A and B are shown apart, each in its own frame.
Chain A
Amino acid sequence: SQQGEEDPQALSIQEGENATMNCSYKTSINNLQWYRQNSGRGLVHLILIRSNEREKHSGRLRVTLDTSKKSSSLLITASRAADTASYFCATIHDMRFGAGTRLTVKP
């Protein structure tokens, strides 16, 4: 079974808008990671948030973690066409990925 499950499956926005993706997981975690995948390419690590952190920032990325709800969210602010990709979450514990959120940013 998949540990990280992303929602929505697909998201389409205009350049400059913010994009929010959610992730739910099933078991207790030590930390959670978000990855990005450009079409057909390998995943690239974006950010890691530890279980004792509630929020973390990296450039235009903001990740939140709610361990009581077993959920995390990734916010991309001021999106660009180059942000078009699939985004995945994964728990460190078992390195399982969900099906991802496909983000399309229209110029």
Chain B
Amino acid sequence: EAQVTQNPRYLITVTGKKLTVTCSQNMNHEYMSWYRQDPGLGLRQIYYSMNVEVTDKGDVPEGYKVSRKEKRNFPLILESPSPNQTSLYFCASSPSRGAGPQYFGPGTRLLVL
């Protein structure tokens, strides 16, 4: 089944404790991206990747890092989480940027205390 998976689905952590949210897709998509969703603000793009080893900042990249060492995986790293990063995070992929629909993961709900 074609899908985008994220782990963990729910996470409660404390300020400053590094964490990684994994994202994996099995559709051989070149383009992957991370969004955060906050009430009233819609989805805002954090980072995106056009292909392996090619990443770029989205609209709200501060406090986040990403890497794309393999085509299928695109982890989101919070080196020192802060409470303002409490949010619902989505990973998405598509064949290439601007080419067809994005497929979204189920979301990761993060609470930073």
Q: Which residues of A contact B (CB under 8 A)?
A: 1-2, 30, 33, 40-45, 48, 88, 90, 92-93, 95-100
Contacts and interface: CB of A to CB of B under 8 A. Distances in A.
Q: How many residues of B sit at the interface, in one of the four size bands?
A: 20 to 34
Contact of A96 (B45, B90, B101, B109): B45
A99 B45 contact: no
A106 B35 CA distance: 30
Contacts of B41: 99
Interface in B85-100: 88, 90, 92, 97-100
11 contacts: A30-B98, A40-B109, A41-B107, A42-B90, A43-B104, A45-B102, A88-B43, A90-B102, A97-B43, A97-B44, A100-B42
A92 B98 contact: yes
B98 A99 contact: no
A11 to B, nearest CB: 16
Interface of B: 4, 33, 35, 40-45, 48, 59, 88, 90, 92, 97-107, 109
B56 to A, nearest CB: 11
Contacts of A48: 100-101
Given A40-B88, A42-B104, A44-B104, A93 B98 contact: yes
A42 B107 contact: yes
